[in-house]
Amino acid sequence: MKDKFSLEGKVALVTGAAYGIGFAIAESYAMAGARIAFNCRSQAHLDQALEAYRAKGIEAKGYLCDVTDEEQVVSMTEDIGKTLGPIDILVNNAGIIKRIPMTEMSVEDFRQVIDIDLNAAFIVSKAVLPKMMERRSGKIINVCSMMSELGRETVSAYAAAKGGLKMLTRNIASEYGGYNIQCNGIGPGYIATPQTAPLREKQPDGSRHPFDSFIIAKTPAARWGTPEDLMGPALFLASEASDFVNGQILYVDGGILAYIGKQP
Ligand code: NAP
Ligand code: GCO
């Protein structure tokens, strides 16, 4: 069975993998034998990430590339093709959140979230699909969210984008499944990364942030997830072990979506 989960000889592009969930996914792919490419927007993040990959013995290829810019994306994917080889695995991980009540949110802010969290997955997938179709093989993994299923105050743009990403996932699976391309989503629960740091900030009196306590109570596992919790599920979706799994969203949430919540 080990061979079914091996990524030996594969090339993986994980977008936004300078740190957080993307970094852990890229690390797991490298441990399974893949060559890794990643991108982010900030030079400082790129330099830190290259150092962090090296410290783990991983020779990752890093690019400064904004996933919302089609020209930059095409030039990055072409370069990966020339230097590492054709992209076998794409993880659309880059994402942002803006927590603003909907009636106070500007159209520009709403559009920016949709652009990075949804439109970019279209742009990067479109750039890699033709070569995958030629080779009749490919894996695309879209990083979805609890907000692909649930709403909550202040995250209208994020929920709209992640709900859309779930349907883009199903549509890529439907449209290109015949080329032996699998497109699935991974839906992390509440994971401790810089994106969620403001929700875990200690109160002035040293007590937990109310949202932090709320998440612990709402999660049957009674803890926040870690980026490492995504490693096994993301490896499954990138490997031959999932070759007949297509258009699914694999939630990795410690049980949140199964649970109605504690009575007050
Ligand atoms: P994070 O810690 O904020 O990391 C985001 C990464 O994306 C960084 O490397 C960032 O680098 C990059 N990035 C952002 N915008 C980009 C753009 N336009 N082009 C290229 N790179 C970009 O986020 P995370 O918590 O690891 O989340 C990763 C993904 O998982 C996101 O899609 C997020 O929505 C999703 N997710 C997170 C959680 C959670 O609880 N943390 C739960 C469910 C889903 P630069 O800033 O240098 O560009
Ligand atoms: C929020 C959070 C989330 C998570 C994640 C949940 O403010 O509710 O940031 O949306 O990051 O996507 O799966």
Name the residue of 14, 19, 21, 148 to mutate for ligand 1: max ligand atoms within 8 A of Cβ: 21
Q: How far apart are the CA of 151 and the centre of ligand 2, in A?
A: 10
For ligand 2, say whether the CB of 144 is within 6 Å of any of its atoms: no
Q: How does pLDDT run across 31-76, given as a tens digit for each residue?
A: 999 999 999 999 999 999 999 999 999 999 999 999 999 999 999 9
pLDDT at 264: 83
Residue keyed to tokens 């093989």: 137
Give pTM, 2 decimals.
0.98
For ligand 2, say whether the CB of 195 is within 6 Å of any of its atoms: yes
- Exposed, middle or buried by CB within 10 Å (0-12, 13-18, 19+), for 50? middle
For ligand 2, say whether the CB of 224 is within 6 Å of any of its atoms: no
Q: How far apart are the CA of 94 and the centre of ligand 1, in A?
A: 4
**H-helix or E-strand spanning residue 124:** helix 120-135
Q: Could you give the angle at the alpha carbon of 160 between the alpha carbons of 158 and 165, nearest 5°?
A: 90
Residue ID of nearest Cα to ligand 1 atom 12: 16
Residue 158 bears catalytic tag:
yes
DSSP 240: G
For ligand 2, say whether the CB of 98 is within 6 Å of any of its atoms: no
Kindly list the distances between the CA atom of residue 98 and the CA atoms of 119, 242, 251, in Å, as whole numbers in the listed order: 16, 33, 22
Which of 53, 63, 158, 190 is labelled catalytic?
Answer: 158
pLDDT at 263: 87
Per-residue pLDDT of the chain (264 residues; tens, 9 = 90+): 999 999 999 999 999 999 999 999 999 999 999 999 999 999 999 999 999 999 999 999 999 999 999 999 999 999 999 999 999 999 999 999 999 999 999 999 999 999 999 999 999 999 999 999 999 999 999 999 999 999 999 999 999 999 999 999 999 999 999 999 999 999 999 999 999 999 999 999 999 999 999 999 999 999 999 999 999 999 999 999 999 999 999 999 999 999 999 888
Residue ID of nearest Cα to ligand 2 atom 3: 190
Kindly list the distances between the CA atom of residue 123 and the CA atoms of 127, 184, 200, 261, in Å, as whole numbers in the listed order: 6, 17, 33, 38
pLDDT at 46: 98
Helix runs in 3-69, H state only: 20-31, 43-55
Q: Give residue 49's identity as a one-letter amino acid code.
A: A
Contact (Cβ atoms closer than 8 angstroms) between residue 165 and residue 104: no
Query: Residue 14: how many CB atoms within 10 A of its CB?
Result: 32
For ligand 2, say whether the CB of 158 is within 6 Å of any of its atoms: yes
